[in-house]
Structure 1
Amino acid sequence: MPSVQSPQAVDPPASHSNPHALLPFLRSQSQNTLTRLYQRPSSCLSIYRLLGPLERQLVMNLLWLESAIPVNTMAVWVVPEGKKLYDDALAVMTGLHILQNSTVKLALNPTFKSSLRQAITGGGSTGSFGVPAEKDDKRQPGGIEVLDAYALERWETILHYMVSSGQGQLPTKPSQGVLYLLQRSELMKANHGATLQITSSGFQFLLHSPHDQLWDLLLQYLHMAEERQMDLVEVLSFLFMLSTMELGREYSTDPLSETQKVLLEDLRDYGLVWQRKASSKRFSPTRLATTLTSLSPSLPTSSSTGGSRVGATTSAIGVAASTAQQGFIVLETNYRVYAYTDNPLQTAVLNLFITMKYRFPNLVVGMLTRESVRKALANGISAEQIISYLSTHAHPQMRKNNPLLPVTVQDQIRLWELERNRLKSAEGYLYRDFASQADYMYVLEYAKQLDVVLWENGAKRCFFGSLEGHANVRGFIERRTGGG
């Protein structure tokens, strides 16, 4: 019998206004792919968690019915002001092929219904929720503390590398597979040869929660699965299986397919699974894996590990500052920045756009300068992203201010960006010395139709065209002047 978590563990992270990032990807898959995926109870339970509240309610209303229900009967339950939400929910469920596409009666996909029933009641012996490894008195499991430390170390390694752009003194370096995925997802880009540099998207990535960060990378991995000739259903089902496993328990690798064993090796690099050694026949999911489809924290907090460093690190890598305790930055009107932190990752992120002045055991002092902001802009970080980061991690004392950040500092950061962007260079040709105003207007209109005009001056009868459009404009002029 599969090991099923208790019903109260089902905490979906989705809503109508902010659907989970995986749902659009699933909707883009064929009906055959989704039907194969729905043959696994763990996959159905995980997808159920990702749905919005209304979709989950509709699933539960239809799950235990033995026959389809008329559309009109279901519509009677909907109040007029909720009709749009109801229609949107039906569209989502139909797009995922959870709901059979019919305008007369509503019924769940039989495969999805059967598997979800099995997941909830705990029946069957398919091994969809993983096969626990036999207990071995000689080999004690690592324990939740070991798993949390491993997941945190692997995830920190990736983010440290992004922030330092590979130039910092890192104890360990991400694997080549991780580096390729960071480049493929455009979070980093090659700069001056093999060196990878963080991009604007990469800095925005640092503002997200660890849960969103992880799914950003996993979605890129899913897009690459077919290129690597990996079975997409096997990849998805393994991720969903991990999300339903029990934290701190060891599972056997024997029932895994060849695709899933390859995936197991890759996920070690991201800290989702832990093994004593690469050839081990056992593996344990970390907190990063078991919270893939829930609202529980993806990384250990100080309360669960007893370490203040772990709690600080979790805040540093993008946990949204929904509570005042998570803020640590004070920004003054003289552009001076005080960061109350001893976390090296937080310090490294700040170093992307401020000039460091002093560093104490629990305090970093720096300045927002023209040079430091221009350096950040040159690396693809925008002014709005800098302001957003300072706002997101503002100290509780700063949150008493209205506005939160000094307006003068915000305006100056934007002005430094405008200063950098006020001039743009482009290669092209200057067209001048037209015989008459009519000739000038005739050629100008032709160039505008081609969308190659970068600048024009009607008073001097001249305009500047792009390099790509020169051959067409020149040919047009030669035809008009008879080759002269």
Structure 2
Amino acid sequence: MSQESTSTAAPNTTGTSSKNSCLFLDFLISVPPKERQRMLQKPSCCFFIYRMLPPIAQQVTIQLIWKGSFPKADDLEVTKSIEDQVKLLEDLGIVSKQANGKYLIDNDYKRSYMYAAMLGAASISSLVLETNDEKRRGKEVEKKAVERWDCILRYLALPSEENTQAVSETTRNLFKKANFTSGDSRIEITTSGFQFLLLSPVKQMWTYVIEYLKLEMSQGQDIVEVIEPLIQIVLLANRGFKAEKECYQIDPSWSIPQQELLNHLRELGVIFIRKRKDGVFFLTHLLTHLATNETIDDTSAERVSNGKVIVETNFRVYAYTSSLLQLAIIALFTEMTYRFQDMSVGMITRESVRGALQHGITAAQIISFLRANAHPQCIATSGAINCLPITVADQIRLWEDERRRMDLKDAYIYSHFESEDEFQGVCDYAQERGILLWANAQQKLVIVNEEGHEYVRQWYKRSKGGETST
């Protein structure tokens, strides 16, 4: 009997469905209850948590605050949605179920939310608007902010010594801990890193911030002390601020972790600090990404207003950009054919998409990226959804479905049996053990799973030695 290792294919009978959830709320659930309760006592945190809740959860919260209960729905589907949102509120510690089956709102949350609702986001942020004209000279704030964020993405997409020096050690440790990069002397992007690059800007920013908060927690930092100033700054993004015009004082009483947070937000580009000695920081429009729930459809708040990509129905892609970062991302799922100074041309093919899928990139991520970076003219002509031709989107999904038809598993093939009895003995033993994947009596072939190979090998030794197999 001879053997060889191989991979067998089996039909994929299990569907893969992922439910979108808010990264910030998921992180909040993972925070220890004691620290989470401290957040519920702070008006700014409560107000921000409310904004990040799904609409149904917001309605349930308001009903419990003002009426002490919420109405039951007649429709079963709506009832299930309400139950899911109530479960979310329970996990967050906002509501609790009593012995009589009624739900009560947390007193700390109720008190903090009502206080915040009366004052408004600007007041509860408690940050002081700077009025010194000499310090309000934040020239090219937006340009410098985008450059800082691009440095981080470039480091991930095109690891090099130059790009490594452009980011902080915290960013490098964060990407490594999040499994976006691997290696010490030679940094390489991982499958998760590729997926991160294809996310919309809002999801990218939130993913980065959540990984930073996790890193702070792993280092033993007081997470409430770090989250509170973060939320206070983010709340200012909803005031229709004007970059280069408004700046806020850096609170000298902030602790070291809070000062480090400010420096990190500066590296992200969501704020701009001209000089540390000025004692002020400017807000940038990248901050609006953190003021948005990342579960919102990619066709609305997550859209990049200055998109550069045009996709035609013949699968040809035109990228009106000279950015090496953007071109590197597009090349992940496109065969680039022409490169000019400010425009590149490529084709979306079956091979290029399958190559991206093998790196762990999904069809939904490719479609989301193309829509989020669609040229404004495409959006104006065809709308937020059809800016990417439906035929192209459907074909990308079909190419992904092709790979879902089979699941590959490592296995061992046994052949060239010395006798019929030996073949039948291996078949019977493998079937009894539950390790048999396939057998053919005519060709005298037996395939067992990877875990079962050792059992068959031991059985074969015993049978050759004259022992009775069990």
CA distance in 1, matches of 2:54, 2:37: 21
Secondary structure of 1:404's match? helix
CA distance in 2, matches of 1:413, 1:62: 47
Tell me which residue corresponds to 2:205: 214
Structure 1 regions of 5+ residues with no counterpart?
A: 1-16, 299-313
Within a 5 Å distance, the mapping from 1:378-389 to structure 2 comes to 379-381=359-361, 386=366, 389=369
Contact 1:352 1:376 in 2 (8 A): yes
What letter matches 2:428 in structure 1? Answer: Y
Distance 1:470 1:54, change over 3 A: closer
Displacement of 1:42: 0.7
- For residue 85 of structure 2, the aligned residue among 89, 92, 95 is 89
How many residues matched? 424
Tell me which residue corresponds to 1:50: 52
Which one has more relative contact order, counting CA pairs under 8 Å at least 6 apart?
A: 2
Within a 5 Å distance, the mapping from 1:231-310 to structure 2 comes to 231-245=222-236, 247=241, 248-277=246-275, 281-289=279-287, 292-294=290-292
CA distance in 2, matches of 1:31, 1:374: 44
Tell me which residue corresponds to 1:405: 392
CA distance in 2, matches of 1:400, 1:263: 38
What letter matches 2:263 in structure 1? Answer: E
What letter matches 2:189 in structure 1? Answer: Q
Distance 1:432 1:233, change over 3 A: farther
Is 1:150 the equivalent of 2:147? no
Is 1:226 the equivalent of 2:217? yes
Moved more, 111-120 or 261-270: 261-270
CA distance in 2, matches of 1:424, 1:154: 42
- For residue 429 of structure 2, the aligned residue among 436, 439, 443 is 443
Deviations 1:80-139 (A, max 9, x none): 22433433333322222212332545432121122222223339xxx96244276556x4
Contact 1:342 1:363 in 2 (8 A): yes
Displacement of 1:37: 1.0
Displacement of 1:356: 3.5
Distance 1:231 1:455, change over 3 A: farther
Tell me which residue corresponds to 1:26: 28
What letter matches 1:330 in structure 2? Answer: V
Contact 1:19 1:52 in 2 (8 A): no
Distance 1:207 1:372, change over 3 A: closer
Contact 2:313 2:391 in 1 (8 A): no
Distance 1:365 1:412, change over 3 A: farther
What letter matches 2:228 in structure 1? Answer: S
What letter matches 2:429 in structure 1? Answer: V
CA distance in 1, matches of 2:388, 2:85: 41
Is 1:141 the equivalent of 2:136? yes
Is 1:433 the equivalent of 2:417? yes
Is 1:132 the equivalent of 2:128? yes
Distance 1:466 1:432, change over 3 A: farther
Structure 2 regions of 5+ residues with no counterpart?
A: 1-18
Tell me which residue corresponds to 1:186: 179
Contact 1:62 1:107 in 2 (8 A): yes
What letter matches 2:169 in structure 1? Answer: Q
Root-mean-square deviation (Å) = 4.4
Contact 1:253 1:283 in 2 (8 A): no
Contact 2:155 2:167 in 1 (8 A): yes
Tell me which residue corresponds to 1:304: none
CA distance in 2, matches of 1:329, 1:108: 49
Is 1:100 the equivalent of 2:96? yes
Is 1:177 the equivalent of 2:170? yes
- For residue 442 of structure 2, the aligned residue among 441, 452, 459 is 459
Displacement of 1:43: 0.4
What letter matches 2:255 in structure 1? Answer: S
CA distance in 2, matches of 1:183, 1:63: 43
What letter matches 1:404 in structure 2? Answer: T
Contact 1:332 1:406 in 2 (8 A): no
Secondary structure of 1:405's match? helix
Distance 1:348 1:58, change over 3 A: same
Tell me which residue corresponds to 1:40: 42
CA distance in 2, matches of 1:467, 1:171: 41
Tell me which residue corresponds to 2:112: 115
CA distance in 2, matches of 1:376, 1:290: 30
* TM-score scaled by length of structure 2: 0.72
Contact 1:131 1:255 in 2 (8 A): no
* TM-score scaled by length of structure 1: 0.70
